[in-house]
């Protein structure tokens, strides 16, 4: 798959719902905060339609190929699995994708054109105006909004980037310090997020991903396997 190809991909900003988007080259069209989250073996998809966050125009995600081409799956098959609160946005996203597919719109319309020299917020990736850029130098590269969140403790304990409400399902909480960690920043956090998602999919009571809790379960399972092998 090459940049510019239209696909269906799990949108992590919308609880991994299948969403229409376009494959992009992270070096050319991905905001700073997306490039900083680079994940080996994955590609970047920019999703069509409105972003779930008011602070940006588009949602992005690093996803694992292969992905399903847009033309191979109709909206009717997808929307059955989408909660009503997201259906209006999905309709808008699909209409935009169809316009791109028909040649009426540029596939990269509305995407940022990366300027390596342009200052951006370290956390949210939003381009900074000159006055904001000057202030950001005193705030470790963060815009005023992200700086306020960081001071309130709303940031990842590993990468120090602030997190937003829509990212909550992709983070784990440490039971020792109550800090939160992105799943992509720590192996324990990733296992905790995966375990919570599996529990929810199995119909069990949903609980917040806890890295230490899952790590204890992981260690217990390994010990049991070792005892069985002896």
The residue ranking higher by pLDDT, 113 or 82, is 82
Kindly report, residue by residue over 168-203, the tens digit of the pLDDT.
Answer: 777 888 877 788 888 888 888 888 888 887 777 676
Among candidate residues 67, 65, 49, the one with its CA nearest the CA of residue 57: 49
Is the confidence at residue 229, as pLDDT, over 70?
no
Q: Give the three-class secondary structure for 159.
A: coil
Alpha helices in 71-186 (DSSP H): 75-79, 84-101, 130-136, 144-151
pLDDT at 5: 95
The CA–CA distances, whole Å, from 52 to 49, 58, 124, 173 equal 9, 8, 14, 23
pLDDT at 39: 79
For the segment 75-96, the average pLDDT, to the nearest whole number, is 92
Is the confidence at residue 33, as pLDDT, over 80?
no
CB-CB contact of 127 with 119 (8 Å): yes
The residue ranking higher by pLDDT, 160 or 15, is 160
User: Average model confidence (pLDDT) for the chain?
Assistant: 81
Kindly report, residue by residue over 165-176, the tens digit of the pLDDT.
Answer: 767 777 888 877
pLDDT band at 93 (very low <50, low <70, confident <90, very high): very high
pLDDT at 220: 54
pLDDT at 21: 95
Residue 21 has φ and ψ, to the nearest 5°, of -160, -170
Is the confidence at residue 54, as pLDDT, over 90?
no
pLDDT band at 41 (very low <50, low <70, confident <90, very high): confident
Cross-strand pairs, 62:
44
Report CA dihedral (14, 18, 23, 25) to the nearest 10 degrees. Answer: 30
pLDDT at 198: 78
Is the confidence at residue 219, as pLDDT, over 60?
no
Is the confidence at residue 64, as pLDDT, over 60?
yes
pLDDT band at 99 (very low <50, low <70, confident <90, very high): very high
For residues 226 and 210, what is the distance between their CA atoms, to the nearest angstrom? 25
For residues 126 and 170, what is the distance between their CA atoms, to the nearest angstrom? 21
CB hemisphere CA count around 190 (13 angstroms): 6
pLDDT at 79: 92
Helix (H) or strand (E) holding 61: strand 59-63
Token couple for 145: 């909004």
For the segment 15-24, the average pLDDT, to the nearest whole number, is 92
């Amino acid at each position: 798959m090459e940049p510019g190809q239209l696909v269906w991909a799990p949108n992590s900003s919308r609880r991994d719902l299948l969403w229409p988007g376009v494959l992009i080259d992270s070096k050319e069209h991905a905001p700073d905060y997306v490039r900083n989250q680079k994940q080996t073996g994955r590609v970047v998809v920019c999703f069509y339609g409105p972003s779930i966050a008011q602070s940006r125009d588009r949602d992005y995600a690093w996803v694992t190929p292969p992905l399903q081409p847009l033309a191979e799956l109709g909206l009717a098959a997808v929307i059955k699995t989408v909660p009503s609160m997201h259906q209006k946005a999905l309709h808008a996203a699909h209409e935009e994708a169809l316009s791109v597919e028909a040649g009426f719109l540029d596939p990269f319309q509305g995407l940022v054109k990366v300027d390596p020299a342009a200052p951006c917020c370290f956390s949210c990736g939003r381009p900074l105006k000159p006055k904001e850029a000057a202030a950001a130098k005193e705030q470790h590269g963060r815009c005023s909004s992200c700086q306020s969140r960081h001071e309130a403790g709303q940031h990842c304990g590993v990468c120090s980037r602030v997190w937003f409400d829509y990212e909550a399902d992709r983070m784990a909480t440490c039971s020792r310090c109550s800090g939160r960690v992105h799943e992509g920043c720590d192996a324990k956090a990733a296992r905790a997020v995966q375990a919570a998602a599996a529990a929810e999919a199995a119909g069990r009571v949903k609980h917040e991903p806890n890295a230490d809790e899952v790590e204890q379960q992981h260690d217990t399972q390994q010990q049991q396997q070792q005892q069985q092998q002896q």
